[in-house]
A = this chain, B = another copy of it.
Amino acid sequence: MTYCVAVRVDQGLVMLSDTRTNAGMDNIARFRKSFTYHVPGERAITLMCSGNLSITQGVKATLSKAIKEARLDPGVETILNCETMHRVAQIVGEAMRAMQLRYRESIEMGGSGSSASIMIAGQRRGGKPRLYLIYSAGNFIEATEDTPFFQIGEHKYGKPILDRIIKRETTLEDATKAVLVSMDSTLRSNLSVGMPLDLTVIPTDAYDFRVRTRIEADNEEFAMISQSWSAALRKGFEDLPNVLD
């Protein structure tokens, strides 16, 4: 499985993904699920994938092929030169739909599932930070003020803390801590989600990444977040009023 979470607050965008892919618990592998696209000073985009790996890798290959072609023929539309983030979501959705049309039937004949989802978060100069969730059919939804975060994959374990913390006014610092705590809870409760993690932070109107890093299993800052959170939960739990007389 997978756990990816993306947050859109007034101060910008925060994206975090794990790296564990498995086809059954006896076939665990590691694959990057976060990918970044960047035109310095003009746009910064993070893409995160879950679901059928061959489908999502196919979508990325389609996007990359277009970007390569556009170097020779600037008329080719890509996620790096298209007009809006909304158009970026459409391009990714079209690639998703094409992959599903090509492979869905034969994948399902083999007894596997072809479904996949992709989150796109980014900002281009002249637009606002945007966050989209693209489904297997190529259709998509956008995060709004009422729903400032999206999750894909094993989302339930890590949802309670996001429900409590994330609002549009939440700072980028707090949003980053919240997605790390959300991931920490998921890692502890579900073996199919695993370290290392990929974290990106795109501040509003920066058109650049403030953070674009891999957090390895031995990362001290993440260990500190994880331990502090454990201690806080334990302390908070101990301080709860007793309900048995």
Flag whether A47 is at the interface (Cβ < 8 A): no
Assess the A225–B243 pair: CB atoms within 8 A. yes
Interface assignment of A21: CB less than 8 Å from any CB of chain B = no
Partner of A157, one of B159, B173, B234: B159
Cβ contacts under 8 Å, A237 to chain B: 161, 165, 174, 177-178, 181, 229, 232
Which chain B positions have C-beta within 8 A of A178? 237
Q: Given A156-B157, A157-B160, A189-B160, do A229 and B240 touch, yes or no (CB 8 Å)?
A: yes
Least CB distance from A29 to B in Å reads: 23
Please give, as numbers and ranges, the residues of chain B lying within 8 Å of A228 by CB-CB distance: 236, 239-241
Give the residues in chain B near A174, CB-CB below 8 Å: 237
Per the bound structure, the CA–CA distance linking A210 and B245 in Å amounts to 10
A233 at interface, CB cutoff 8 A: yes
The count of chain A contact residues (Cβ–Cβ below 8 Å) is 45
Whether A230 pairs with B173 at a CB distance below 8 angstroms is no
Q: How many copies does the complex hold?
A: 2
| Nearest chain B residue, comparing its CB with the CB of A226 | B240
CA distance A186 to B165 in the complex (A): 16
Residues of B within 8 A of A242 (CB): 173, 177
Interface contact B244-A176, CB-CB below 8 Å: yes
Within 8 A of B (CB), among A147-202: 154, 156-157, 159-161, 163-165, 172-174, 176-178, 180-181, 185-186, 188-190, 201
Q: In the complex, what residue of chain B is closest to A230 when comparing beta carbons?
A: B164
Query: Chain B contacts of A230 at CB under 8 A?
Result: 164
**A91, chain B: closest CB distance, angstroms:** 30
Q: Kindly identify, within residues 208 to 245 of chain A, every residue whose CB is under 8 Å from any CB belonging to chain B.
A: 210-211, 221-222, 224-225, 228-237, 239-244
Question: Smallest CB–CB gap between A1 and chain B, Å?
Answer: 12
Residue ID in chain B nearest A221 by CB atoms: B243
| Residues of chain A at the chain B interface (Cβ within 8 Å) | 154, 156-157, 159-161, 163-165, 172-174, 176-178, 180-181, 185-186, 188-190, 201, 210-211, 221-222, 224-225, 228-237, 239-244
